Structures are given as structure tokens and as C-alpha cells.
């Protein structure tokens, strides 16, 4: 590997980690604004979404520049391909975090409605863990940790499905809750999508470390 390529790859790694930290913070703040009814924090998450978008474009341009200038192969090429995919997933996670914050902003102005403790406690914890661990696996090139992230996704999916059935029951009993329940259902879906994208990152880490494509293949 040339000195210039090594320098550019090192800088690219720093950039993707910076974006990861931004998205992790946005996700955590969006969840906190929802569970603690903090409208100012929700507004901050929404406002900062543009910073994530800008960073995503910068990283994509850096990847394309490295491909054009250095024409990397083997492990280096695989790394750049993964960074491009992770970069896109992180930007989408930032979008979903902003969507959660927007719903949190609306819900904070309304009378609260009851929702399952597993949604307010277990689901946020799982998602925060998945986002953090997927990025940690990327930094450490830890395929085992990546597989742990993938295994967590099923529980998040289950909580999201349960939210639909429980809020449907609530709306049938009290039609005045319909708008708030729909907003809460949207929030649950956005959180579930964040978990899906963290899973994508974990799958990309396994590809980078082991050269194996495991998407759509069950993990034991």
C-alpha cells in the first residue's frame, strides 16, 4: 500500500467514525426527547439533521476520489465499498432519528397516552445498544460483536409488532387517541428501521472482516 493511499484510508476511517458518532448522538437524543417529553431536545435533533447530510456527501466524495486516484484492490477496495454502504445507512439512520424527534415534538404537546413498558424501556435500550455496538464492531473489525447486533434485531421487531396490536386495541376503545396512537406507531416503525440499519452495518462488518456476504442468511 502506498503512503498516500494509507493516509487517505486513515482519514476516511476517521470521517466515517465522526459521522457514526453524530448519528449515534442523534438517535440517543431522539429517543430521550420521546420518552422524557423534551421538545427542545427534539428540535435540536431536527435542526442537526443537515449536518449529517453534509457529512455523508463529503464521505462519498472522499471514497470516489480514493477510487479514482489509487485504484485500490483486495482488502482496501473492500473497505471502501463497506464505507460507502455504511455511509448511506448512517445518513438514513439520521433521517429516521429526525423523524422520531418530529413525532416526539408533536406528542410532547399532547396529553400522553399509555404504551407498553417494553416500548419505553426495552426497545430504546436495545436500539441504543445496537447502534453503538455496530459502530464499535466497525472500529474494532469485530465480527463476533457484529453477530451479536444482528441477533438483537428480532427482539426489536417483536416489540414493534406488539405496539401495533396494543395501540389498535387502544384506538378501538377510545377514538380520541387515534391521532396520537398513529404518531406513536410511526415512531415505533422509525425506531425499528434504525435497528434494521444497524443490522446492515453489522453485516457489512462481517463482509469486511471475513469476506462473506451473510445478508438474508440466518445467524445461529
pLDDT in tens, 155-207: 999 999 999 888 889 999 999 999 999 999 999 999 999 999 999 999 999 98
Please report the sign of the dihedral spanned by the C-alpha atoms of residue 18, residue 24, residue 27, residue 30. negative
CA distance linking residue 87 with residue 118, whole number of Å: 30
Q: What is the mean pLDDT of residues 31-45?
A: 95
> Over the Cα atoms of the chain, what is R_g?
19
pLDDT on residue 88: 96
pLDDT value of residue 216: 59
75 or 132, which is more confident?
132
Which pLDDT value is given to residue 119?
86
Q: What's the CATH number for 3-210? A: 1.20.58.220
First-to-final CA distance of the chain:
36
Q: Residue 73 pLDDT > 90, yes or no?
A: no
**Does pLDDT of 115 surpass 80?**
no
* Cβ pair 191, 127 in contact under 8 A: yes
pTM: 0.90
Q: Are 130 and 153 in contact (CB under 8 A)?
A: yes
Amino acid at each position: 500500500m502506498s503512503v498516500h493511499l494509507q493516509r487517505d484510508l486513515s482519514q476516511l476511517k476517521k470521517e466515517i467514525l465522526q459521522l457514526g458518532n453524530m448519528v449515534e448522538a442523534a438517535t440517543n437524543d431522539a429517543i430521550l426527547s420521546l420518552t422524557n417529553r423534551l421538545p427542545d431536545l427534539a428540535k435540536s435533533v431536527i435542526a442537526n439533521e443537515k449536518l449529517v447530510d453534509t457529512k455523508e456527501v463529503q464521505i462519498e466524495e472522499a471514497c470516489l476520489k480514493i477510487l479514482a486516484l489509487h485504484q485500490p484492490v483486495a482488502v482496501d477496495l473492500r473497505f471502501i465499498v463497506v464505507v460507502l454502504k455504511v455511509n448511506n445507512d448512517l445518513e438514513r439512520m439520521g433521517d429516521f432519528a429526525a423523524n422520531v424527534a418530529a413525532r416526539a415534538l408533536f406528542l410532547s404537546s399532547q396529553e400522553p397516552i399509555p404504551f407498553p413498558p417494553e416500548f419505553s424501556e426495552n426497545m430504546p435500550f436495545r436500539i441504543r445498544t445496537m447502534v453503538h455496538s455496530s459502530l464499535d464492531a466497525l472500529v474494532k473489525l469485530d465480527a463476533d460483536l457484529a453477530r451479536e447486533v444482528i441477533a438483537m434485531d428480532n427482539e426489536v421487531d417483536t416489540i414493534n409488532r406488539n405496539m401495533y396490536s396494543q395501540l389498535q386495541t387502544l384506538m378501538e376503545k377510545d377514538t380520541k387517541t387515534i391521532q396520537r396512537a398513529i404518531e406513536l406507531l410511526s415512531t415505533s416503525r422509525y425506531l425499528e428501521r434504525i435497528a434494521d440499519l444497524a443490522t446492515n452495518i453489522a453485516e457489512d462488518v462481517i463482509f469486511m472482516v471475513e469476506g462473506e456476504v451473510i445478508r438474508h442468511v440466518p445467524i445461529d
